[in-house]
A and B are shown apart, each in its own frame.
Chain A
Amino acid sequence: MATVELRFSAQPEHVRTARLVAAAVARRAGVDEAVLDEVRLAVGEACSRAVGLHRGNGVATPIRVVLTDEEKTFSIEVGDEVPGAGAAGGVPGARAGAPAEAADEADGEDEMGLAVIRGLVDDVEVTAGDDGGTIRMTWPTALAETDADVLS
């Protein structure tokens, strides 16, 4: 079961709330203080991307953020409900409703957002399906790092 689950309507102003909640839960889960900035940025990028996808495709459902504190890891899953959006390139014509120029700009930001996520997070998984895409990011918690120290 998720530690904390958050749903918000696809509005840019709520992305900050998602960042704050994710950072608070990550801190509590024992994610290193030095990594919290990365968590904040990565979840913001994933949420901004999802908001852009929902708005660009006229999807009225909320964005889903699932924060899970497992024994040695902390993971964040950000899910959108735009079919095929998570895959590189997505579904042909998925953005057909948007003006060409706006779509180009949004695509560019998608790519940059994903580039930032991939640069920041070592363990990231991007999946796409018929019912939407998911970005799953995982960080070790302080507990896991302590164990690693003992083993080394």
Chain B
Amino acid sequence: MDLSLSTRTVPGAGGDRTVVEVGGEIDVYTAPKLREQLVELVNDGSYHLVVDMEGVDFLDSTGLGVLVGGLKRVRAHEGSLRLVCNQERILKIFRITGLTKVFPIHTSVDEAVNAVD
């Protein structure tokens, strides 16, 4: 399965948030598309991102690398990158790599959009 991406702007408690809905498999082949999308958003001035991973079937370290890269970019603009994920198989990868300490992971888009630091 290929990667699907869609973005929308949602008003949150701390201002507008850009929600990136990701579906399918994020791997060495598809991760560059996600990277392009995140880079494009930051270049266009969206610094508060919520990546909704509920539709993701597969995530590998290449995908993690892209998310870390996204986080680095938004932080350079004092922004934020929050994840939405309830799938154990995906959460496990964040735990193994210690990235649960790096990314705020939420159980719903609503919760992520309204979260403030």
Contact = CB atoms under 8 A, between A and B. Distances in A.
B65 A16 contact: no
Given A37-B89, A108-B65, A116-B61, A52 B28 contact: yes
Contacts of A141: none
Interface in B68-115: 89, 93, 96-97
**Interface of chain A: mostly helix, strand, loop or mixed:** helix
Contacts of A47: 28
Interface string A113-131: 1011001100000000000
Contacts of B89: 37
Interface residues of A, number: 23
Contacts of A45: 60-61
B96 A48 contact: no
A147 interface: no
Interface residues of B, number: 14
B21 interface: no
B113 to A, nearest CB: 28
A45 to B, nearest CB: 6
Interface string A45-57: 1011001100000
B2 to A, nearest CB: 10
A48 B60 contact: yes
B61 A119 contact: no
A37 B58 CA distance: 9
B64 interface: yes
Nearest to B31: A12
B16 interface: no
Contacts of A16: 25, 27, 29
Contact of A120 (B62, B64, B65, B96): B96
A41 interface: yes
A109 B65 contact: yes
Interface in A1-56: 12-13, 15-16, 19, 37, 40-41, 44-45, 47-48, 51-52
8 contacts: A12-B28, A15-B28, A16-B25, A40-B58, A48-B61, A112-B61, A115-B96, A120-B96
